[in-house]
Each structure stands twice: as C-alpha cells, then as structure tokens.
Structure 1
Amino acid sequence: MIETSRLLLRPHALEDFEPWYAMFSDRELFRFIAAPQMSREDAWNRLLRYAGHWSLLGYGMFAVFDKATGQFIGDVGHADFHRELGAGFDGYPEASWIMAKPAHGRGLAAEAVSACHDWIAGRHAPARTVCMINPENAASLRLAGKLGYQLFDSRTYKGNPCLMLERVAP
C-alpha cells in the first residue's frame, strides 16, 4: 500500500469492482482512450488482468482512494500490456492513469501518479518507463510533462492517434 497526504493506493481487490466499473462506464472519461465501452464481462477480465500483473510481474495497477472519505477515485500504475508498438515501447513498464470525475481539478492525479512512480523506482528500478497519450488530452500531457516524460514517437493505436513518451531514470 502507498499512502500520500491525501490518498491511499493499493492493488485492486474484489470489492473495488463496482466503483471501478462505474468509472470505466463513464464514456466522457474515455474520450481520449482507444478502448470501446466495456461490458461487465470485459471489465471483469481487465480487473483479473490487473491481478495477474501483480502476481507475475510484481507491479501493476493501483486502486486510488481519497484518504478523507474512503471513496474510490481512480486507477494508476504501471503495466506491460504487450501493445505491439515496437522495441522502443513494448517491454518497458507503461504508466497508466485515469481518475474519476470527483478527483478532477484537485491535483490528485499528479499526487497518485508521482507516488506510483516513486514506488516502482524503489522496488524495480526500471531504467525507463513509457506512456501513450492522445495528442488532444491536454491534462494528461501536462501531467506527463511534470513527471519528466518526453516525446519519442507518435503512432496510430487501434485507429486513434497517440503520442509515445518516455521517462528515463535519473
């Protein structure tokens, strides 16, 4: 578990499914993500995939909770999604984040993602992490920049444009 001044982050648990699925059902949150709206079955399989990351790789996605209220507010972490984007991307821990609407505009994404990066650096010390962001997603691009990510390529992924960014360990 990771604790920050305002947040608790931990690997997903079964009881997270309903609030997590509700967040993933909000199409407005997914306007920049190359993923169709998920059925409950697809969402369940994704949550199981998250558990598999922890079991097989020792890292994965964290459920994010508001420490003051206990409310589930997001999903952040690193994963290896095998996206087949090439040697410059595949095989490196891919940073990923999405925050529910109640968390927007409060700096919580930056707090959660920064804590997650500190965690993986302290446990696995990857020389490089990557992320992919839709070029129209200004908020995520700002956050990636604050975290030290730099553009290294751009591609089309599942029919959508994406910027490929990297963060080299200091």
Structure 2
Amino acid sequence: MDDVTRQRSRLIDVALDESIGRSTPDIEHERAVAIFDLIEENSFQPANDEGNGPYKLKLSMIDSRLVFAITHEDDSPVMTHILSLTPFRRIVKDYFMVCESYYEAIRTSSPNQIEAIDMGRRGLHNEGSQTLMDRLAGKIDIDFDTARRVFTLVCVLHWRG
C-alpha cells in the first residue's frame, strides 16, 4: 500500500454517541485511551468507498447492536453498518473473566502463572479481533491490528465497572 492510499484508508476521528452511555471516570479514561490508540494507528476502508478517505467513525448502540456510522473528513456520509454483538458475548465474557484473573495474579502469583494467564488473555483478544474482522468482511476492510484496537473498544464499551 502506497503512502497516499494509506493516508486515505484510515480513521482520523472516532466518536461515541450518547446511546453508548457513560460510566465511571476510570472506564471513561479507558475508553478515551482505546479511541486514542485506534486513531493513532489504523487501516480502515469501507468497501463501497475505495480510496476516498480518510474517515470519521461514530459508534452508537441500538438494541444491543453496534452501529458504525462512517463519514468522510467533511462529514459527508459514506455508510452505516450495524453489527450484532451476539457473536462477541462469550468472547467478551471470557475475556473479562481472564482479565480479572490476570489482575488478581499480578498481586499474588508467580511470574510463570501471570505469563500463562496473560497468554490466555491475548488468545481471547485475538479470537475477538478475528471474529470482528470476519463480521466486517465485505463491508469494512480492516487489518488485524486495527481489529484488535476496535475489539478493545468493544470490550471497554461493555465494561461497566
């Protein structure tokens, strides 16, 4: 991918609609970090808009579905994609359980035990990222690293603290 295409096939802004709801200051901080990381480095290309970016993404929730409202830099609409979160329920639930174990292990376990739990955590994160890529295939093209960042954001959106 050349530099011009790379600059056009990316997100320059990610916003959360009020439908997402707000949470504790710690969770709001985690959301802000997830958005920052996503904007900082990503590869994002709506399938019906080859090379016309960069893009803005507004995420909202409607009936337990994640809505991707995508616009151009000038706010002209590109597409809206609605993604069912049902395929992510088990992964997110398991991911939270492993994260809790990980944070507990940091306080009380050996480095080998912590590393084993962290490997499981990364494995679930990778599974969620691949599921996200699969669910967006043909609609929004993203690379694996971008999928990881969006999956992190999906997890943070579910985290109520």
TM over 0.5: no
TM-score (norm. length: structure 1)? 0.28
- TM-score using structure 2 length: 0.29
Of structures 1 and 2, the larger Rg is shown by: 2
Question: Which of structures 1 and 2 has the larger relative contact order (alpha carbons within 8 angstroms, sep 6+)?
Answer: 2
